[in-house]
Structure 1
Amino acid sequence: MSAARAIGLILGLAADGALGDPRRRPPVTAFRRVAAGPAGIGIAGVAVLAGVLAERAGRGRPLVQASATAVTTWAVVGATGLVTEGTELARNLEEGRLAPVRGTLSELDPRVSDGLAGVGLSRAAVETLAENTSEVVVAPLLWGAVAGVPGLLASRTLGVLRRAAPGNWIVDRLDELVHLLPTRAAAALTVVAAPVVGGSAGGAWRAWRRDTIAHPSPNAGRVEAAFAGALEIRVGGRTVYPQGVVELPVLGVGRNPDAGHVTRAVELSRVVGWLAAGTSVVLAVASGLRRRKG
């Protein structure tokens, strides 16, 4: 069964790459709209329950498990869409077209970007790419490796709910708990990936360990700091959200980011995604072997 889950993850990622931008997948878009509505928590619960039933139906049936895992991975992992949107951000920033940048950011991040200029938008783009790399790529893959279809669905639906209903204490705490380990895994993978894109592994490590101590969230900022350190730039600071202004710690050292750093952040996100895919396959196989020995 471990092999079936691993194969399902690989097939789902292959489908994500082959079929392109998830914004053009009607079933995925419809689910996000429903989950973001008034009955979002109930819909999310039903989705996770369906995942549990699908996982049980696959026990002893490798083909069923692999198929269910593949379809769910394709539906919830947003690696291709993130790279596509990140590339759009970098291109529009390079060409000085700030209105489309603000529009793309509004789809990826809840912050208010209307008053931001080039440097502020570049900083927001790098932060958003880092956070979404953890949330829509690393976290679902790792949870899918250890918990199968329910893990994939629970990880992703909590992220959708958190953004749809900011300030919901229950959703926020559950989201923090589910992403406690994946955010740190994503930061660690960023350290490993940094030299591949010409970045600094040491800078990523130091920024992650040093600058996030003062961050108010147990998760937020970890991957952002690692990205900033890898790219040798500064992010963080004053951030405006619909519910108010938040003074966040400055993450990383060096210059302010520009469009070129956004392009490198896209490549860093891509490499972190590859490493997360490999890690998830190894975890799926190891988890299955452990259950078999037990």
Structure 2
Amino acid sequence: MRPDPIAAGLLVGYAADLAFGDPRRGHPVAGFGNAAAALEQRTYAPHRSRGVLHEAVLVGGVVVLGGAAARVRPQVPVVALATWTVLGGRSLLREAAAMHDLLARDDLAGARVRIRHLVGRDSSQLSPAELARACIESVAENGADAVVSPLFWGAIAGVPGLIGYRAVNTLDAMIGHRSVRYREFGWAAARLDDVANWVPARLTVLSIALATGSPAAARRVLHVVRRDAPAHPSPNAGPVEAAFAAALGRRLGGRNTYRGVTDDRGTLGDGPDVDVEDIDAAARLHHRTAAIALALVVGGRLVTRAARRRMRRRS
């Protein structure tokens, strides 16, 4: 059997992200964001139909580009490059390590500024414990969004899946929030991101449960997710953050303030509130979770591919 170029490319691209992180300059995602902002000047209106048009043009254009890239041979380097480009695991953990160092040095002012690289909540009045919680919740949620989800869509659809998903997720970050400007225009971006992340978020929960290394602990993770995730306003961040809380044996969630509006995220998990030392534990959990998710999506692709070949031989 010939090696599967998409599976191989995902593995190489994942390793590249671990080794090098995001490109420091000329990142294609940043270029896409600039193009989206420029297009918004022409498409914006406070109506859902305009947001649907904006989403369709940008995501559709990226998927078409990905389809063209998928015809380039050899395919392994193309998939690997796309995977490296869209993954954000190394950069996420770099920010978490920086937050740990700032809080460990009692640099509260620096930590309040640095956390803005990870979360959109107002940070000017956050305590050290609240900053640690914000950091760990970001590691949980963005570990799903920036690692597991692109790997999942890459395994499903190759290069179009990888860069198409990153376009969806980037647009949600840009216009998917409930501000006055984007309440209607960003509706399509937010809903499509919810749909794109629904299955990967549940795959992340499964990976977190397996990462505990104990059947009893895994069952506890699944129990806490069923019990606590519905209180979270996000259908995807809620299960992932609840699973992280259970795996760490800590409590996440609570009230956050975004642009002057307070949002109650519910109580996720049991045990004490997180503190600065839990950031390192969260980073280690992310490493295990991402590796397990990679194994699951690549293994699932290879098993499906083998099954299809057997069916073709029988027909």
Normalised to the residue count of structure 2, the TM-score between the two structures is 0.84
User: Counterpart of 2:272?
Assistant: 255
- 2:255 is paired with a residue whose SS is strand
Matches within 5 A, 1:162-201: 162-165=172-175, 166-167=177-178, 168-195=186-213, 200-201=217-218
Q: Percent of aligned pairs with the same residue?
A: 34
2:80 is aligned, of 49, 70, 87, to: 70
**Structure 2: runs of 5 or more not aligned:** 41-54, 179-185
Opposite residue 118 of structure 1, the aligned amino acid is: P
Aligned residue number for residue 155 of structure 1: 165
Q: Report what 1:214 is aligned to.
A: 231
Task: State the secondary structure of the residue aligned to 2:4.
Answer: helix
Higher mean C-alpha deviation, range 101-110 or range 182-191: 101-110
Q: Tell me which amino acid in the other structure corresponds to 1:8.
A: G
Following superposition, the deviation at residue 35 of structure 1 comes to 5.2
Displacement after TM superposition at 1:115 (Å): 1.4
8 Å contact from structure 1 (residues 144, 151) kept in 2? yes
Q: Which secondary structure does the structure 2 equivalent of 1:248 belong to? A: strand
Distance change in 2, residues 1:87/1:36 (3 Å): farther
Corresponding residue to 1:81 among 88, 91, 96:
91
- Whose radius of gyration is greater, 1 or 2? 2
Task: Encode CA deviations 1:143-200: one digit per residue, 9 max, x unaligned.
Answer: 101111111112222111111112311011111111110001101111111249xx94
User: Which protein, 1 or 2, shows the higher relative CO under an 8 Å CA cutoff with sep ≥ 6?
Assistant: 1
Structure 1 CA distance for aligned equivalents of residues 283 and 223 of structure 2: 21
- The one-letter amino acid of 1:244's match is V
Q: Is the 8 A contact 1:225 1:251 kept in 2?
A: yes
Distance 1:24 1:110, change over 3 A: same
Counterpart residue identity of residue 133, structure 1: G
- Three-state SS of the structure 2 residue aligned to 1:265 is helix
Task: Give the superposition deviation at 1:23.
Answer: 5.5
**Superposed counterparts of 1:1-294, under 5 Å:** 3-18=4-19, 20-22=20-22, 24-28=24-28, 30-31=30-31, 33-34=33-34, 37-39=37-39, 41=55, 42-55=57-70, 57-58=71-72, 63-165=73-175, 166-167=177-178, 168-195=186-213, 200-242=217-259, 244-292=261-309, 293-294=311-312
CA contact 1:191–1:230 (8 Å) conserved in 2: yes
Q: For 1:290 and 1:243, locate their aligned partners in 2 and report how far apart those are by CA, in whole Å.
A: 53
Give CA-to-partner distance per residue, 1:40-62, whole Å, 9 cap, x none.
6444432222012222x15xxxx
State the TM-score, normalizing by the size of structure 1.
0.89
Q: Tell me by how many angstroms 1:16 deviates.
A: 1.4
Distance between the aligned counterparts of 2:217 and 2:108, measured in 1? 29
Give the distance between the partners of 1:194 and 1:105, measured in 2 at CA.
27
- In the aligned structure 1, how far is the partner of 2:5 from the partner of 2:188? 34
**Whole-angstrom CA distance in 2 between matches of 1:265 and 1:32:** 30
Residue range with higher mean Cα deviation, 238-247 or 122-131:
238-247
Gaps in structure 1 of 5+ consecutive residues: none
Q: What is the SS of the residue equivalent to 2:297?
A: helix
- Partners of 1:142 and 1:182 within 8 A in 2: yes
Question: What's the CA shift for 1:250?
Answer: 0.6
Cα deviation for residue 205 of structure 1 reads: 2.2
- 1:2 is displaced (CA, Å) by 6.4
Instruction: State the alpha-carbon separation in 2 of the partners of residues 283 and 245 from structure 1.
Output: 41
The amino acid of 1:10's aligned partner reads L
User: Aligned partners of 2:36 and 2:112: how far apart in 1?
Assistant: 21
Letter in 2 for 1:232: G
Q: CA deviation at 1:283?
A: 2.3
Mean CA deviation greater in 134-143 or 156-165: 156-165
User: How much is the aligned-residue C-alpha RMSD, in angstroms?
Assistant: 2.2
Q: CA offsets, 1:191-238, max 9 Å, x none? A: 111249xx9434422221210123333212111000111111111111
How much has 1:3 moved relative to structure 2? 1.2
Matching residue's letter, 2:161: G
